[in-house]
Amino acid sequence: MEIYKPSDVVDVNKIQADFPILSREIKPGVRVVYLDSTATTQKPLQVLSVMDEYYRRSNANIHRGIHHLAEEATALFEEARIKIANFINAPAARQVIFTRNTTESINLVAQTWGRKNLHAGDLIILTEMEHHSNLVPWQMLSAELDLRLEFIPVESDGLLDLNVYRQLLEQDPKLVAFTHMSNVLGTINPAAAMTKEAQNAGAKVLIDGAQSVPHFAVDVQELAADFLVFSGHKMCGPTGVGVLYGRKELLEEMPPFLGGGDMIKRVELRSFTSNSIPQKFEAGTPAIAEAIGLGAAVDYLLDIGMGRIAEQEQVVVNYALERLAEVPGVTIYGPEAKDRGGVTTFNLNGVHAHDVAQILDGDGIAVRAGHHCAMPLHDKLGIPASTRASYYLYNSVEDVDKLIDSLYRVKKIFRI
């Protein structure tokens, strides 16, 4: 059956030209085909130049100095915070806390909100498809406080079993934490609905937006999330900066996380008082250039438009699913196209994921092989590892063709 090859809905060549690394030849004549954006994304010149310019022209420490450079740096930093707040439609910029990454944001909530508000026997609802960063902090807290952790199961169609979710909600949960979009299955969970049901049951909700925020428009007010977390480096921003968004009342009553400079109002020898939000949770000199870089990434993405980015990704992932399904011996994990974002994780019979990835690498194609920081999910799927190809605004339908050609080469080398 002929698969209809769709057209890209954005000018991918023009976008690719913004990303210097994408013109790199991994070996002579072989340009990199980057299909690992779920792990980290590439950065456009528009972000790189802003960070470079900051260090060349405006670098100074923020919030304290009154000299010209310090004022400029502070303004740039706080402007970035406002950009990010607008990007997720947060009610106020002070509700956007800069952290190191999603993992740190979740640990922050666990160690401050969690420690203060949870008691022995309290229930936290998670899911079987969570990334380790939304599992381990709760496991650690649970060991400290003797909590109960229960998990919404993943069904064979890659979707969460919402019937079990509703049963768990009847057990007086204090917190529900789940991924908006799975980094393995690509499943986009019905976050707004799940959040509403959780809050009706009296629980707070933390949404892991590490994969969703970069790939489609996410509105914290529409979701009514209590907490939303995500990373800069997964959305064309630099590493070293992430975000915790929280409801104002929650953030205000949470105790501080790290102690030190800037998060204080007043310090005596033996005591201190905390600063108000957001500084309360931003101890020490932050990743200033990186936060400003993340602001520039937001500008870049909005310039193209999150709607168009999401649409392009849907075109590419739909095509990828169709072409992958045609390769004999390939098993694809996760839901059908309409319920997923740009991630395709699969296995090829008779070849270990590592070997698939290695041969693809020989063709310049970058994919990820392993358990993708989701061991429990792999245990549930009954597989030790898988190969993951993920797509973002700089990937085209041509990239899918290259991936498939390379998979046929794997089959040839392994004589299958």
Question: Which sequence positions are flagged as catalytic?
Answer: 373
Whichever of 190 and 370 has its CB closer to other proteins, that residue is 370
Please, what is the minimum distance in Å from the beta carbon of residue 28 to other proteins? 13
Please, what is the minimum distance in Å from the beta carbon of residue 355 to other proteins? 5
Q: Which of residues 384-403 bind other proteins (CB under 8 A)?
A: 384-385
Cα end-to-end span (Å), the chain: 22
Q: HEC states along the chain?
A: CCCCCCCCCCCHHHHHHCCHHHHCEEECCEECEECECCCCCCCCHHHHHHHHHHHHHHCCCCCCCCCHHHHHHHHHHHHHHHHHHHHCCCCCHHHEEEECCHHHHHHHHHHHHHHHHCCCCCEEEEECCCCHHHCHHHHHHHHHHCCEEEEECECCCCCECHHHHHHHHCCCEEEEEEECECCCCCEECCHHHHHHHHHHCCCEEEEECCCHHHHCCCCHHHHCCCEEEEEHHHHCCCCCCEEEEECHHHHHHCCCCCCCCCCEEEECCCCEEECCCCHHHCCCCCCHHHHHHHHHHHHHHHHHCHHHHHHHHHHHHHHHHHHHHHCCCEEEECCCHHHECCEEEEEECCECHHHHHHHHHHCCEECEEECCCCHHHHHHHCCCCEEEEECCCCCCHHHHHHHHHHHHHHHHHCCC
Count residues contacting other proteins (CB under 8 A)? 19
Whichever of 190 and 362 has its CB closer to other proteins, that residue is 362
Please, what is the minimum distance in Å from the beta carbon of residue 405 to other proteins? 14
**413 counts as binding other proteins under rule CB under 8 A:** yes
Please, what is the minimum distance in Å from the beta carbon of residue 33 to other proteins? 18
Q: Which of 204, 378, 388, 411 binds other proteins (CB under 8 A)?
A: 378
Whichever of 396 and 406 has its CB closer to other proteins, that residue is 406
Whichever of 338 and 415 has its CB closer to other proteins, that residue is 415
Please, what is the minimum distance in Å from the beta carbon of residue 354 to other proteins? 4
Whichever of 191 and 360 has its CB closer to other proteins, that residue is 360
| x/- map, 337-376, other proteins, by CB under 8 A | --------------xxxxx--xx--x------xxx-----
**117 counts as binding other proteins under rule CB under 8 A:** no
Whichever of 154 and 351 has its CB closer to other proteins, that residue is 351
Please, what is the minimum distance in Å from the beta carbon of residue 349 to other proteins? 13
**331 counts as binding other proteins under rule CB under 8 A:** no
Long-range CB contacts for residues 20-24, cutoff 8 Å, separation at least 24:
20/45, 20/48, 22/394
Measured CA to CA, the distance from residue 194 to residue 205 in angstroms comes to 9
Whichever of 329 and 370 has its CB closer to other proteins, that residue is 370
Please, what is the minimum distance in Å from the beta carbon of residue 92 to other proteins? 42
Measured CA to CA, the distance from residue 222 to residue 352 in angstroms comes to 42
Note the residues at the interface with other proteins (CB under 8 A). 351-355, 358-359, 362, 369-371, 378, 384-385, 409, 412-415
